[in-house]
Amino acid sequence: MSIRQLQMIRALEVAGSVSAAAIALQVSQSALSHRIREAERLLDTPLYSRQNKKLVATPAGLRVQFAARRVLAELERAEHDVAHMSGGVTTTVRLGLEAYASHHWLPELYQQLAIKCAHIGLEVTADVGLHPESALRQQSIDIALISGLPPAKDFNCMHLGEDSLLALMASDHPLAKNASVFPEMFADFPYVAYHTNPEEGREYDLVFRRHHVLPSNVISAGVTEAVLTIVGQSQGLTILPAWTALSQGPKYGLITRPIGDGALTTQWYLAGLHQVANREAILEVMQTIQNITRFND
C-alpha cells in the first residue's frame, strides 16, 4: 500500500466519517471513496462495511488501521529527528508521563540536558497516561515515568523514590478543618479520579480496599487538570502523590491533608527498554531525571 492510502486509512479512523476525512485530506468525498475502493482492490478484501449509515472497519480494516498508525508515526518521527540533526541533535529520546505525574520539573530537565547533553533531543509525550508500559512495548516512547508497583522485570528500571499520598479538597470543604482525612471519611463524598478502573499500588488498593471503604460516587475525569478543576468546584475529594499535589493543587485553590497517620506512600520509577539503538541516550536522560526529582530531600 502507498503512503497516500495509509494516510487515507488513518484519516478515516481519526475523523470517523468519509465526509470529515475528505475535509481533513482536502479532497472530495468521491475522490476519497475511489481511494477506498482502490485499496480494497489492491488487498482483495473489504476494509469497511456500512452499518446504520456509518462506515465501520472490517477485521482487515482494523489490521490496516494499526499498520497505518505505526508506519505514519515512524515516518513523522524520522522527519522530526532528521530536522533536529541539522541543529546538532543526533538522537531523540521520548519521555512518556503517566497520569499521576507532575510537570513542574520539566523545565529543569530541559536545562540540564542542554548543558550536559546538547546532542540529545527530548520529546515529552503526555497521551500515554494510563498505559505507559504498553506505550514502551509498542516503542512509541523510550522512557516511561511510572508510580505504584515496580515496572515489569524485562524493563530497564530506575527507582526515583518514595512519595506520600495526600487528599486534596477545596478550601471550604467540610473536611478542611480536619488535620487528617481518614479512609472512612471518603465514603461521604464524591471521589474524583482519572478513571474508575481499580489498580494495584494506587489509592483504590491502598486506601479503599484495604479499609473496606468506597466513596459515595466516583467521577472519572481523565486528566489531572480536569480532576483538580472538578475537586475545586465541588464537594469532591481526590488523592494524589505529594509530588503532584503540592505543585499543582494550589493553582486550583486546593488544600492538602495527610491520609490517616500520613504513612501511606507510593513509589516512583523510570522504565526503559533494554535492547534499543539509543540506549546510552536513554540512560543519560533517566539519570538526569533521577538527579533532579529529589524525592528524598
Are residues 11 and 65 located together in one domain of the fold?
A: yes
Are residues 256 and 188 located together in one domain of the fold?
A: yes
Phi, psi (degrees; rounded to nearest 5) at 264: -75, 130
Identify the pLDDT of residue 189. Answer: 93
Contact 97, 141 (CB under 8 A): no
Q: What is the pLDDT of residues 103-114, one digit of tens each?
A: 889 999 999 998
pLDDT value at 128 more than 70: no
For 72, which DSSP code?
A: H
Identify the pLDDT of residue 297. Answer: 47
CA pair distance 64, 72, nearest whole angstrom: 12
Q: What is the pLDDT of residues 29-59, one digit of tens each?
A: 888 888 888 889 889 999 988 888 788 889 9
CATH number, domain at 34? Answer: 1.10.10.10
Contact 181, 259 (CB under 8 A): yes
Interval 215-226 mean pLDDT = 85
> Who contacts 162 (Cβ-Cβ below 8 Å, separation ≥6)?
265, 266, 267, 268, 295, 296
Q: What are the C-alpha distances in Å from 95 to residues 25, 74, 88, 239, 286?
A: 30, 16, 20, 24, 9
pTM: 0.67
Cα angle 91, 103, 169 (rounded to 5 degrees) comes to 160
CATH number, domain at 147? Answer: 3.40.190.10
Are residues 8 and 63 located together in one domain of the fold?
A: yes
pLDDT value at 91 more than 50: yes
Amino acid identity, position 72: L
Are residues 49 and 183 located together in one domain of the fold?
A: no
Are residues 127 and 45 located together in one domain of the fold?
A: no
pLDDT value at 87 more than 60: no
Residues, the chain: 297
Identify the pLDDT of residue 236. Answer: 92
- Tell me which of 81, 99, 120 is where a domain ends: 81
Domain that holds residue 47: 3-81
Are residues 93 and 224 located together in one domain of the fold?
A: no
Contact 293, 105 (CB under 8 A): yes
pLDDT value at 129 more than 70: no
Are residues 53 and 75 located together in one domain of the fold?
A: yes
- Tell me which of 38, 56, 81 is where a domain ends: 81
Are residues 246 and 279 located together in one domain of the fold?
A: no
Number of structural domains found in the chain? 3
CA pair distance 144, 199, nearest whole angstrom: 18
For 108, which DSSP code?
A: H
CA pair distance 169, 164, nearest whole angstrom: 16
Residue 27 or residue 79, greater confidence: 27
Work out the percent of the chain whose per-residue pLDDT is above 70: 92
Least confident of 24-28, 65-69, 199-203: 199-203
Are residues 215 and 76 located together in one domain of the fold?
A: no
Identify the pLDDT of residue 84. Answer: 59
Are residues 168 and 260 located together in one domain of the fold?
A: yes
The DSSP string of 184-232 is GGGGGSEEEES-S---TTSHIIIIIITTT---SEEEE--SHHHHHHHHH
Are residues 286 and 243 located together in one domain of the fold?
A: no
CA pair distance 119, 281, nearest whole angstrom: 9
Which of the given ranges, 61-65, 130-134, 192-196, has the highest pLDDT on average?
61-65
- Tell me which of 55, 81, 107 is where a domain ends: 81
Amino acid identity, position 80: H
pLDDT value at 99 more than 60: yes
Least confident of 74-83, 139-148, 181-190, 287-296: 74-83
Are residues 174 and 256 located together in one domain of the fold?
A: yes
Q: Which residues pair with 124 in a beta bridge?
A: 95
Identify the pLDDT of residue 211. Answer: 86
Helix (H, G, I), strand (E, B) or coil at 162: strand
